[in-house]
A = this chain, B = another copy of it.
Amino acid sequence: MATKTDTATVTGAEVRSEGPIKRSGNSHVNLNGFSAPQPLAPIRTHRKKKYRHVAAVHSKPRTSCLSHDAESTPSFLGFRNLMVIVLIVGNLRLMIENFKKYGVLICIRCHDYQRQDLILGAALYFIIPCHLFLAYVVELVAAQQARRSLRSNGKKRSGTATPGGSYVPSDEERQKFHSTWVLVAWVHGVNATLCLTITSVIVYFFIHHPLIGTLSEVHAIIVWLKTASYAFTNRDLRHSYLHPSNREEDILPEIYQQCPYPENITLGNLTYFWWAPTLVYQPVYPRTKKIRWVFVAKRMAEVFGLNAFMWIASAQYAAPVLRNSLDKIATLDLSSILERLMKLSTISLVIWLAGFFALFQSFLNALAEVMKFGDREFYADWWNSPSVGEYWRTWNKPVYQFMKRHVFSPLVGRGWSSGAASIFVFTFSAFLHELLVGVPTHNIIGVAFIGMIAQLPLIWLTAPLEKMQGINGRIIGNCIFWVSFTLIGQPLAALLYFFAWQAKYGTVSRKV
């Protein structure tokens, strides 16, 4: 605001009311610009200037504030406000245009949930957790065997106890533990994979509606991961139990002492793990003291509201764009496909952000509150990611922690390089993503798989940007993340799976 300078230079046209200036700190706004408080000045009589038309408006050289030789760069906050306004107005216009073209596309009564879908979906909902129960039984047996092995009915064990309190197993014991573990691992593996396979087969061949299919598939994958975590963690706990050690690198986390192996192998403990909002098994979790039911109610209201929003947005805004793209894809009209992709990207971004919030912020927090689960860090501020790698580390912490603890870390421990272990993690993740998207849509076209694998070169490309001095590297990396992921990747994948579905089935919702 240049008005202060004006006050200094305009010597002939100060417009003050007639009469003496009082000592004042009042702010004084009038239309000629004196909006700053008057500086405290000695009391003196001040008569109005006589010659008003001679004010020296230009009395010293000044630069324009956008010139390169300006003393200081001006703020551009006003343009940030303008950007938000233009975004809102532009999208409101698209909404008006959509309404004029299509009217209201939302149809609460019409749905294509077939009876079979609902029955099978419900059945799977109850069948899938049984595999987790089976895993518990396996661990119970293994724990009992471990207990017996340790008590040994008085018979001395064949290993050596060290002076520091550790126990070094003999070769025979080591062999026995290993063969036990192999058996346990096989049973767990078959159990969990059976669960996933049965679910996938049922969803692929018998459940038509992709939403019910996706929910079942997600449930099966979660149980698969939890079973794996349960098995691996208990293996290590059992090993530590059988071969106690005081060495620093063998010490178990302090929090586990509240429930040492094998006291954690109980149905109650497993049930808690079954429902807890995490994929990594721990005998003990940090807990909160009480359930805030108002908090839970608010979070569930958010879940409901956001789901309604997503459903409306999909039906009213995403579906028409997807449908209008079909012939362009069929004729490979590239510029039109690009245009459709750009139009789809805004709405798919909005739906995805809503979905992220509904799942990771609202639903998981509600679940954690009901379970009195203490650690609510389900995500970090991934939207600020200066690189694609940082995004994958922060947006979905449950999965990230699982991969780090049960896949990445053990591989590196076995001598794999960090890069090789990452490739393995992303390949595994790509496989799961393809199951998650391809099976419920009955088109395993490999787009989700390739999409995940393609993250690796992007991670490698943007990793240096994280470490760069100054803020520009981080901004560029952030932009690369947004463009590749939300403006190319997601809408393209959505378009391709939608196209594949249409190619297989024809129309999927109410005709326009």
Chain A residues with CB under 8 Å of chain B are: 1-3, 5, 11-13, 15, 27, 29-33, 35, 47-67, 74-87, 89-93, 96-97, 100, 229, 232-233, 235-237, 239-240, 245, 249-250, 252-256, 278, 280, 282, 285-288, 335-336, 338-339, 342-343, 345-346, 349, 357, 360-361, 364-365, 374-385, 389-390, 393-394, 397, 401, 404-406, 408-410, 412-413, 418-419, 421-422, 425, 459, 463, 466-467, 475, 478-479, 482-483, 486-487
> A286 contacts B59, CB within 8 Å?
yes
Give the distance to chain B from A297, nearest Cβ to Cβ, in Å.
14
Contacts A31-B408, A232-B53; is A380 near B478 (CB within 8 Å)? no
> B13 contacts A409, CB within 8 Å?
yes
Contact of A374 among B33, B58, B475 (CB under 8 A): B58
Contacts A29-B466, A84-B83, A383-B76; is A342 near B236 (CB within 8 Å)? no
Determine the residue in chain B with the shortest Cβ distance to A357: B66
Compute how far the CA of A365 lies from the CA of B66 in the bound complex, rounded to whole angstroms.
11
> B376 contacts A89, CB within 8 Å?
no
Compute how far the CA of A381 lies from the CA of B75 in the bound complex, rounded to whole angstroms.
8
Determine the residue in chain B with the shortest Cβ distance to A279: B57
Residues of B near A466 (CB, < 8 A) are 29, 35
Residues of B near A374 (CB, < 8 A) are 58, 60-62
Give the distance to chain B from A162, nearest Cβ to Cβ, in Å.
15
Residues of B near A479 (CB, < 8 A) are 81, 85
> B408 contacts A92, CB within 8 Å?
no
Residues of B near A83 (CB, < 8 A) are 83-84, 87
> B47 contacts A249, CB within 8 Å?
yes
> A53 contacts B236, CB within 8 Å?
yes
Give the distance to chain B from A237, nearest Cβ to Cβ, in Å.
6
Contact of A54 among B59, B76, B252, B478 (CB under 8 A): B252
Can you name 16 extra interface pairs (CB under 8 A) apart from A32-B393, A51-B250, A53-B233? A2-B377, A12-B253, A15-B408, A31-B418, A31-B422, A32-B418, A33-B404, A50-B245, A51-B237, A57-B282, A61-B287, A76-B383, A77-B478, A78-B384, A83-B87, A89-B342
Compute how far the CA of A475 lies from the CA of B74 in the bound complex, rounded to whole angstroms.
16
Give the distance to chain B from A430, nearest Cβ to Cβ, in Å.
15
> A90 contacts B93, CB within 8 Å?
no
Q: Mind listing 8 A-B residue pairs with CB under 8 Å?
A: A35-B466, A53-B405, A55-B253, A63-B376, A76-B384, A78-B382, A85-B482, A89-B345
Contact of A413 among B52, B252, B338, B360 (CB under 8 A): B52
Compute how far the CA of A11 lies from the CA of B87 in the bound complex, rounded to whole angstroms.
46
> A57 contacts B280, CB within 8 Å?
yes
Residues of B near A361 (CB, < 8 A) are 64, 66-67
Residues of B near A61 (CB, < 8 A) are 286-288, 374-376
> B339 contacts A93, CB within 8 Å?
yes
> B282 contacts A365, CB within 8 Å?
no
Give the distance to chain B from A468, nearest Cβ to Cβ, in Å.
11
Compute how far the CA of A392 lies from the CA of B13 in the bound complex, rounded to whole angstroms.
18
Compute how far the CA of A174 lies from the CA of B390 in the bound complex, rounded to whole angstroms.
82
Determine the residue in chain B with the shortest Cβ distance to A56: B253
Contacts A90-B90, A256-B56; is A380 near B65 (CB within 8 Å)? yes
Compute how far the CA of A259 lies from the CA of B80 in the bound complex, rounded to whole angstroms.
47
Residues of B near A1 (CB, < 8 A) are 380-381, 390, 394
Compute how far the CA of A384 lies from the CA of B76 in the bound complex, rounded to whole angstroms.
7
